[in-house]
A = this chain, B = another copy of it.
Amino acid sequence: MGRKIYLDGNMVPENEARISVFDIGFMYGATVYESLRTFRHKIFKMDEHLARLERSLRYIGLEPGAIIGEVADAVKKVLSANIHLTDKDDDVWMCAQVTPGKGFPHPVLKQTDYRPTIIVFDTNMPYADYVRYYSEGAGIVTTRVRNISPEVIDCRVKHRSRLHFFLAKREAMAQDPDAYAVLMDGNGNISEATGANFFTVSGNKLYTPPEKNILVGISRQTVIGLAGEMNIPVVEKDMNLYDVYNSDEAFLTTSSYCILPISRVNGVKTGAGKPGAVTNKLLDAWSETVGVDIVEQARRFSGI
């Protein structure tokens, strides 16, 4: 019995989870979403994710009240329906998406169905994609493609109008096949990776781009919290490649891998060219907090 997906109020088999081609999420990229993961089979920082989703909904003009409730329920349902497929020491990644509903052919002005489309699905953790970077460090390419301006869509909204992320990923892969893409903002400062936040370590301090030009990740806030507990100062400031080439360490944060050490940026070695001491300490602290050895779990269940 395979995975089930929550779709418009129903639990449907994964391979039957399809949406109308007239859905505004598909026609306008007008989907807002959250990306979550479990630790020990519990959703990590559920409240923070729902609060951010609420802000995204309000920004795109959907009344958050009922939607947030339905999403919270759906997350529980999906977890309860599928968790038996997951080893007790393994975990899952989950995605909750909301679109404004259906409209055709002129969304908004003549929307045909105002009921939001709500989709929640989970999947195995994609350990194989990144597990080796815990020891090797991953590569980053900073792309020509720039991040979208807040005058167009505020970066703090987690949405799916991300053709520029798709383009940035392709551009990064063309230069360094395994590298992650990092976009600059309109002024040439580092903004964010496509779905992850960026940190450097210099002289035992953490540096990360300020909130104005990024999706403010729950994982980013987790790292800032852990650093606080470990008395590592965190400085939010605009950074460019001068900062990166002269930093001791660098890493990305996102909900799946939590913290991913970076060992090269645009082909240039970062610090010692391998995961740094502060990066590893933060990763250890995170593991301790959630009661899961994050790296060990990824190795054990990566299937590699």
Residues of A within 8 A of B (CB): 5, 7, 17-21, 23-31, 55, 58-61, 93, 95, 97, 100, 104-110, 119, 121, 123, 126, 129, 142, 144-154, 156-157, 159-167, 169-171, 173-175, 184, 186-188, 212, 237-238, 240-242, 245-246, 266-268
Contacts of A170 in B (CB 8 A): 60-61, 108
Residues of B contacting A187 in the complex (Cβ-Cβ under 8 angstroms): 151
Residue of B with least CB distance to A151: B188
- Can you pick out 23 interface pairs between chain A and chain B where the beta carbons lie within 8 Å of each other? A17-B21, A21-B97, A29-B29, A29-B162, A29-B163, A60-B167, A104-B123, A106-B129, A108-B166, A108-B170, A145-B153, A146-B151, A148-B148, A148-B149, A149-B186, A149-B188, A151-B187, A151-B240, A153-B163, A157-B163, A161-B162, A171-B266, A174-B267
Known contacts A29-B163, A163-B161: A59-B246 contact under CB 8 Å: yes
Across the interface, which residues of B come within 8 angstroms of A240, CB to CB?
A: 150-151, 154
**Residue pair B246, A55 in contact (C-beta under 8 Å):** yes
Please tell me if the beta carbons of B160 and A245 are within 8 angstroms of each other in the complex.
Answer: no
Closest 10 CB pairs of A and B: A29-B29, A18-B18, A161-B161, A151-B188, A161-B163, A154-B242, A108-B169, A30-B166, A29-B161, A146-B151
Whether B146 contacts A188 by the Cβ 8 Å rule is: yes
Mostly helix, strand, loop or mixed at chain A's interface?
A: mixed
Q: In the assembled complex, which residues on chain B have CB atoms less than 8 Å from the CB atom of A162?
A: 28-30, 161
Check if B21 sits within 8 Å of A119, measured CB to CB.
yes
Bound-state CA distance A61–B160 (Å) is: 19
Quick one: which of B25, B148, B154 contacts A152, CB cutoff 8 A?
A: B148
Considering the complex, give the chain B residue whose CB is closest to the CB of A160.
Answer: B29
Closest Cβ of chain B to A15, distance in Å, is 8
B156 to A61, Cβ gap below 8 A?
A: no
Q: Are B129 and A21 interface neighbours, CB within 8 A?
A: no
* Min CB gap A292→B, angstroms: 20
Question: Is B163 a contact of A30 with CB atoms below 8 Å?
Answer: yes
Contact check, A242 vs B156: say whether CB atoms are below 8 A apart: yes
Q: Name the CB-closest residue of B to A93.
A: B105
Chain B residue contacts of A149, Cβ below 8 A: 146, 148-149, 152, 186, 188
B105 engages A123 (CB within 8 Å):
yes
Contact (Cβ within 8 A) B166 A100? yes
State how many angstroms separate the Cβ of A202 from the closest Cβ of chain B. 10
* Cβ-defined contact, A26 with B174, below 8 A: no
Q: How far apart sit A152 and B183, CA to CA, in the bound complex (Å)?
A: 10
Q: Are A109 and B173 in contact (CB-based, < 8 A)?
A: yes
How long is the Cα–Cα vector from A74 to B18 in the complex, in angstroms?
Answer: 21
Q: How many Å lie between the Cα of A107 and that of B170 in the bound state? A: 10
6 further interface pairs, Cβ-Cβ under 8 Å (given A30-B162, A100-B166, A106-B126): A18-B20, A21-B119, A21-B121, A26-B160, A105-B123, A144-B144
Q: Is the CB of A7 within 8 A of B21?
A: yes
Q: Which residue of B lies closest to A170 (CB)?
A: B61
